Amino acid sequence: MNRAILHVDMDAFYASVEERDDPQLRGKPLIVGGTLGRGVVAAANYAVRRFGVRSAMPIGEALRRCPEAICVPPRMRVYQAVSAEVFEIFHDFTPLVEGLSLDEAFLDVTASQRLLGPADGIAAQIRARIRAKTALTASVGIAPNKLLAKIASDLNKPDGLFRIGADNLRTILDPLPVERLFGIGPKTLPGVRAAGIHTCGDLRRADEQMLWQAFGKHGEAMRQRAAGIDARPVVADTCDKSISAEETFQVDLREPRRLRAELIGLVDRVAGRLRAQDLRAGKLLVKIRRQDFKTYTRQRAIDPATNETGAFCRIAVELLDEWRRLQPQAAVRLLGCGLGGLQVDTGQADLFSAAPADSSPLDAAVDDIRRRFGSGSLTRASRLHGASRLHRGSS
């Protein structure tokens, strides 16, 4: 069966979420980004792109190009939640999902065609599901490889579907500006043009001298890209996007010390799992479900990312206490803790971070004892303290 790769790209993602949530913004030039002096454009909707405004542009420059643009600050938690909904849809169609960012991914649907039909139909279903669930649009490129799928998704934006295959490969690819190819950016482009290469067709037909002048030793690899050749597989995300644990209590809890103690136990559990996978976390989330089943979440970014239980405990307890101040009498039937923003632990601290993110020697000792004698061999004193205070108070 021929490979069938999709590149799904949400249309002006951050800006589209803002327009969805505030209909008064629709159709107006909209910038999502820092609104103060040194802020940059995180996203721009299509109305403002017509003025040349692009992502990563300084806000000052963007407003000079479009003085009437509306600027709103980013709401990353909202975008992450919508992204999770979109990726859940992807996984309904194939396990081979390679996320590139919050708003785009490659999907290998080769095997899925046996059950779900041709790739064109799968792509149409994905777009329809995204629109129904999120009220947002996505553009999808369909091709036999990742290179062509990514090019295709950009050829019919926004809210478009485009296929590149053997029947139209040369017709579509040859006339495209050569800068559409990955690896040819603003710094490389002048030299490429100076060598007489302006389109993908020029690059595909270039002789050895032109290739060497433009790309040096990478000339042949670039020519293969211009010919639409790309053997890279879709690499499914191998580590969990988050690590979490939760506990439903047999008796609803109100007592603050017991709630903190139970939460610390959950943090301890997920932190150990994090270190076992040689990961660090850049985000912590606390989940709270009341007696009436109403569920709340509170989360906080962690910079630099860490794997230290003590740091996670402090943040988790702070989030729980913030929630309790708003409803101090609420009875809690479930607590949960999740770690996200996972990164591979290289063992090296971030040179630019304000503080080191080294693992705690205590955590290392606790992990070693639990590996040798079982997960129940050690319990943090803060848990016992909370439980014992509750016991004495209720006797």
| 6 and 134 co-located in one domain | yes
Phi, psi values for residue 96, rounded to 5°: -90, 80
Q: Determine the structural domain holding residue 336 and report its residue range.
A: 242-394
| 196 and 276 co-located in one domain | no
- Which residues pair with residue 43 across a beta bridge? 32
Whether the per-residue pLDDT at 345 is higher than 80: the answer is: no
Tokens encoding 46: 């299509």
| 298, part of any domain | yes
Q: Taking residues 310-314, report their average pLDDT.
A: 95
Phi, psi values for residue 314, rounded to 5°: -60, -45
Nearest residue to 227 via CA among 204, 248, 246, 206: 204
For the chain, what is the mean pLDDT?
A: 86
Q: What is the CATH number of the domain that holds 173?
A: 1.10.150.20
Q: What is the CATH number of the domain that holds 309?
A: 3.30.1490.100
What is the C-alpha separation between 249 and 229, in angstroms, rounded? 56
Residue 348's pLDDT is: 42
| 209 and 319 co-located in one domain | no
When pLDDT is cut at 50, 70 and 90, the band that residue 40 belongs to is confident
Residue 273's pLDDT is: 87
What is the C-alpha separation between 141 and 8, in angstroms, rounded? 7
Q: What is the CATH number of the domain that holds 52?
A: 3.30.70.270
What is the C-alpha separation between 268 and 377, in angstroms, rounded? 13
Residue 355's pLDDT is: 39
| 283 and 135 co-located in one domain | no
Peptide bond into 304 cis (omega under 30): yes
Whether the per-residue pLDDT at 327 is higher than 50: the answer is: yes
Three-state secondary-structure class, residue 149 = helix
Give the tens place of pLDDT for each residue, 139-166: 999 999 999 999 999 999 999 999 999 9
Q: Taking residues 36-40, report their average pLDDT.
A: 65
Give the tens place of pLDDT for each residue, 361-380: 666 666 655 455 444 545 55
| 159 and 218 co-located in one domain | no
104 is catalytic: yes
When pLDDT is cut at 50, 70 and 90, the band that residue 394 belongs to is very low
What is the C-alpha separation between 196 and 211, in angstroms, rounded? 10
358 CB contacts (<8 Å, ≥6 apart)?
Answer: 349
Total structural domains in the chain?
3
Give the tens place of pLDDT for each residue, 171-224: 999 999 999 998 888 888 999 999 999 999 999 999 999 999 999 999 999 999
Give the tens place of pLDDT for each residue, 66-88: 999 999 999 988 998 999 999 99
Other Cβ atoms less than 10 A from the Cβ of 225: the count is 23
Among candidate residues 18, 19, 98, 104, the one labeled active-site is: 104
Express as a percent the part of the chain with pLDDT over 70. Answer: 84
Residue 359's pLDDT is: 53
Q: Taking residues 241-250, report their average pLDDT.
A: 84
Q: Taking residues 42-56, report their average pLDDT.
A: 92
| 232, part of any domain | no
| 236, part of any domain | no
Q: Taking residues 349-359, report their average pLDDT.
A: 41
| 121, part of any domain | yes
Three-state secondary-structure class, residue 96 = coil
| 118 and 184 co-located in one domain | no
| 99, part of any domain | yes
When pLDDT is cut at 50, 70 and 90, the band that residue 117 belongs to is very high
| 212, part of any domain | yes
When pLDDT is cut at 50, 70 and 90, the band that residue 56 belongs to is confident
| 357 and 279 co-located in one domain | yes
| 57 and 77 co-located in one domain | yes
What is the C-alpha separation between 323 and 196, in angstroms, rounded? 63
| 259 and 377 co-located in one domain | yes
Positive or negative, the CA dihedral 274, 277, 278, 279 is negative
Whether the per-residue pLDDT at 169 is higher than 70: the answer is: yes
Q: Specify the pTM.
A: 0.61
Tokens encoding 297: 């979440």
Other Cβ atoms less than 10 A from the Cβ of 237: the count is 15
Residue 356's pLDDT is: 37
| 217 and 264 co-located in one domain | no
| 48 and 86 co-located in one domain | yes
62 CB contacts (<8 Å, ≥6 apart)?
Answer: 31, 33, 41, 44, 48, 53, 69
